[in-house]
Chain A
Amino acid sequence: MALPSTETVECDILIIGGGMSGCGAAFEAKYWGQDLRVVMVEKAVIERSGATGEGLSAINCYMGQRYGWNTPEDFVHYVVNDMMGLAREDLVYDVGRHVDASVHLLEEWGLPVWKKDNGEYERIGRWQIPIHGESIKPITAEPARKALGAENLYERVAVTHLLTDANDAERIAGAIGFAVRENKFYVFKAKTVIITTGGASNVFRPRSVNEGLGRTWYSVFATGSAYGLMIPIGTEMTQMEHRFVPTRFKDGYGPVGMWFQYFHARVTNALGEDYTVTRESELKKYAPYGLAVPTPTPLRNHQMFMDIRDGLGPMYMHTEEAMQNLAQGDPAKMDQVRNEAWEDFLDMTVAQALTWAAQNIAPEVTPSEVVLAEPYIMGSHSGEAGAWVSGPQDVSPPDYFWGYNRMTTIQGLFAAGDGVGAAPHKFSSGSFTEGRLAAKAAVAYTLDHVQEPTLSEAHIRQLQETIWAPLETFAKHRGVSTADDINPNYITPHQGLVRLQKIMDEYAAGTSAWYTTNGPTLERGIALIEMFREDLQHLAARDLHELMRCWELVHRAWVGEAHMRHMLHRQETRWPGYYYRADYPDLDDANWRVFVNSRYRAGSNQWELITKPYVNLVK
């Protein structure tokens, strides 16, 4: 096989991904490790890459310690309850105690935060502050780019695999990938690697399948590479069965937080009923979590889902009622509310504003449909899938600490953001903060481990042939058929994506299965995804753009398989409203208030699933 040239980049710390957590990691690493070579690799351009590239209308993780609003302990109580009893308290606490400083820095760098007349931050919820956040990503990226230096930022390079040490498979040694816009491989040789890449959209079949495939709720750029990179080298993962199903404005997937929390809008069914009232008794089944205030997100989904399942839709968000209540007949006040309502979408989900305009929806007059979206697997926002990492030394119990904050079970491999499991509710500011936490610990690790890693040339050559194979497959077999898309020897990345989404939707409790599955259905899904993983060796790509799509699909497939295996292991229904195990329909705290962890063993192609104890730290 003729392969393109290879550029080898040697560095001390390699940051993979340039989203919020990656930019936080770069900024922090260069402060503590001024003499270290810190390199970032990113598949796009960091000013607009990642889940916040489009912008945000709020920061959803802010304690307000300086105002006396919340303590990190308050945050732990809230997060654990919202997750129905399962989150790593040490990791959540750690984000909570540091996050305010990150938000204040973003403001210093130019992020416009809404202020009250007394100069304090405005609030839209207990943890949420509104921002004019269209440019949050370029504002975050700028100091990271400056700190790194242009020569240490490799953009438009897609990383496909992590590399472990030739003499020690439990130690990281770097990563490999290819340039998206020129024929070239990159090999990064690094003592320390920080994974800050994304969670996974488009693993499940979305509600919109044609052009709308791009309008997934979580960023379409988030391909699950955080997991797709870590799982194959045997990194221990946790809570991969968890998913987030957002309630959002229908189809455009515009945010609802501002409407619920700031405008105090209600959602009703076709009969005008409010499910939080009519389905209130349902919460008792999920005590103690269901009885706490606020009601956990999955249980609010569950209540709405019961209405939808009973044929009581469509569900309407009463924007008109909320806006009229706020304006109280004052035209100037209505102008202000209208301005705020449209900004919520224009700052972060322009497609929803376009959907409103195209459907002639003026929100002060017409209510808007809301819907339960397809599932997403992520470690940030309200998800908790990701790597099992060490916590901070001063907080974590012995079971949760092994030397360096946010280090995975692979020596020298750190994670942040979507890559860290059991640490939910980070959102943008918390992910940026977690990148910083990981980077500071990574600097200490790097100074403690000066020995150069050893790369296996043979293994790199083998990986390069694997990475390049889809281009070779297309060239070799295209003559068999008059149509590029129909060929018995290969599948295209789009065809593979559709197949993955069908398996996940139908066997792993997607929207068409009413978020419901059981053990035998999952076992059948796993059998099909094992065949699918074999077929991924027959992907074909016509160009580098499609080659990138091929490797994104491989990463998404790892996510899907891990998700199903974890779901099969957890024999209960812990998050109704996210998914239901029909064979274990109840929450079972006595047996299952534990973390489900897994390790994939490449040598035997086997998955090992275990549980880890829950340690309560904050009383």
Chain B
Amino acid sequence: MSQTQLAEKNKSLLLDVEELSTHFFTEEGIVRAVDRVSLRLSEGDTLGIVGESGCGKSVTALSILSLIPDPPGKIVGGKITLTGRGDLTKLTEAEMRKIRGNEISMIFQEPMTSLNPVIRVGSQIAEAISLHQSVTKRNALEQAIEMLKLVGISSPERRAKDYPHLLSGGMRQRVMIAMALCCKPKLLIADEPTTALDVTIQAQILELMNKLKQEVGTSIILITHNMGVVAKMAQKVCVMYAGVVVESADMPVLFSDPIHPYTLGLLKSIPRKKRAGQKTRLHTIPGVVPGLLNLPKGCRFSDRCYRVHEPCRRWEPPLAPPENRPHNGQHVRCWLYLTPPKE
């Protein structure tokens, strides 16, 4: 075994999500937003969860933190094991509150709606600190200013007294990151943290996240629909579609050897540098993502897949290593690579 393979094997598991199912019970029917999703995060890694609208990536993140509104949502099955804390689905709300912001933190896409507009930013960070540490108000504020400095905000003592609306989008996101990391969490869940930001600011924030990952020792689950961000940030990737994981792999392998037809379609439809300036048509995946109340029978991708065949319309494939081709740790949910049930 090589040095890197050994180091990889010795990375301890931090979060183990097994067969998580989160369903929403609505008047029109049961929406299976997350359906038997399994994923694992090793300490020190960034796990990218990538997929388009409605694939269940945000609901997965909210489920981990037990933030699913009930009614109408509910975790109906599976286990979420955080090393050192056991199965999170079995904890009480009081116990979860001790974990949120402390061992597991989350940052969201729209920093403006995540910050309280009537409280100064320094105080908001200090509040997060006071919730989990018994320190004086003054001490909490001092720590908050230190965090602002850590996330690269200049004149942090002055900035701490600002209200959110005085800050730019990039700065607000830095404040969110400061709030999320102030208690040195083991796990940071970032749900599309840079989607709402300009591209030059996005580059700053992503670089900051990588730097802080090292300094604070936090592992990251990064949710995004942007494959470029995945390539830059993630060590491992899960591709989700209509509530299930369709492919999981190490990041370099996902790009060099994508297997699932959806993953292939997704990568091919990204506009890229043209050769010799000719106009080419973009590759498309025909059709649209099915509504979760109108899933096709069998494989969820079957009505859009260019390689659909008989078993696809009858049974949903499991997520497993491909059986009929060499692989490098990938798992795929596709009858092209697994043996369908016999009649």
Do the two chains belong together in a single complex? no
Residue numbers of A with Cβ under 8 A of B are none
Residue numbers of B with Cβ under 8 A of A are none
